[in-house]
Homo-oligomer: A and B are copies of this chain.
Amino acid sequence: MLDNPKNDPDLDRDLRAVWHPCTQMKDHASIPPLLIERGEGIYLIDRDGKRYMDVISSWWVNLFGHNHPRLNAALKDQADRMAHVMFAGVTHSPAIDLACSLVDLTPSHLTRVFFSDNGSTSVEVALKMSLQYWQQTGQVERVRFIHLSGGYHGETLGALSVCGIDLFREKFEKVLMENIEVTGPDCFRCPYNLRPESCGAECFEPMEKTLAENAKTVAGVVIEPLVQGAAGMKMYPPVYLKKLEDACASTGAHTIYDEVAVAFGRTGALFVCGEHGLSPTFLCLSKGITSGYLPLAATLTSEEIFQAFYGEPSSMKLFIHSHSYTANPLACACANETITMLRENNFLETLQPKIKYLGEVGNRLRELEWCGEFRQTGMIAAMELVRDKKSREPFPPELRVGYRIYLEGLKRGVFMRPLGNVIYFIPPLIIMEKEIETMIDAADESIRAVLKK
- Residues in chain A within 8 A of chain B (CB atoms): 10-11, 13-14, 16-27, 32-39, 44, 54, 56, 58-62, 66-67, 71-72, 75-76, 79-93, 95-96, 99-100, 102-103, 111-115, 117-121, 124, 127-128, 131-132, 135-136, 143, 154-159, 161, 167-168, 171-172, 174-177, 286-287, 292-295, 301, 306, 309-314, 316-328, 330-331, 334, 398, 400, 403, 406, 415, 417
- Checking B19, B143, B415 against A114 with a beta-carbon cut-off of 8 angstroms, the contacting residue is B19
In the bound complex, do residue B72 and residue A19 qualify as a contact, i.e. CB atoms below 8 Å apart? no
- The answer to whether residues A119 and B323 also contact, given A11-B91, A38-B82, A175-B177 and a CB cut-off of 8 A, is yes
- The answer to whether residues A317 and B24 also contact, given A59-B88, A113-B19, A119-B323 and a CB cut-off of 8 A, is yes
- Checking B14, B36, B113 against A17 with a beta-carbon cut-off of 8 angstroms, the contacting residue is B113
Which residues of B sit under 8 angstroms from A36, Cβ to Cβ? 82, 85, 90-92
In the bound complex, do residue B132 and residue A95 qualify as a contact, i.e. CB atoms below 8 Å apart? no
Dominant secondary structure at the A interface: mixed
Provide 21 A-B residue pairs closer than 8 Å at the C-beta atoms, listed in order of the A residue.
A10-B91, A10-B96, A14-B91, A20-B88, A21-B114, A21-B115, A22-B321, A36-B85, A58-B84, A59-B322, A66-B82, A66-B83, A120-B156, A120-B323, A128-B155, A131-B172, A156-B156, A171-B320, A294-B328, A295-B324, A314-B398
In the bound complex, do residue A103 and residue B33 qualify as a contact, i.e. CB atoms below 8 Å apart? no
In the bound complex, do residue B26 and residue A313 qualify as a contact, i.e. CB atoms below 8 Å apart? yes
In the bound complex, do residue A75 and residue B66 qualify as a contact, i.e. CB atoms below 8 Å apart? no
- Chain B proximity of A249: nearest CB distance (Å): 24
In the bound complex, do residue A39 and residue B82 qualify as a contact, i.e. CB atoms below 8 Å apart? yes
- Checking B23, B103, B330 against A293 with a beta-carbon cut-off of 8 angstroms, the contacting residue is B330
In the bound complex, do residue A88 and residue B417 qualify as a contact, i.e. CB atoms below 8 Å apart? yes
- Chain B proximity of A367: nearest CB distance (Å): 28
Which residues of B sit under 8 angstroms from A44, Cβ to Cβ? 82, 85, 90
Which residues of B sit under 8 angstroms from A88, Cβ to Cβ? 20-23, 59, 417
Which residues of B sit under 8 angstroms from A27, Cβ to Cβ? 313
In the bound complex, do residue B85 and residue A58 qualify as a contact, i.e. CB atoms below 8 Å apart? yes
- The answer to whether residues A81 and B294 also contact, given A103-B17, A313-B400 and a CB cut-off of 8 A, is no
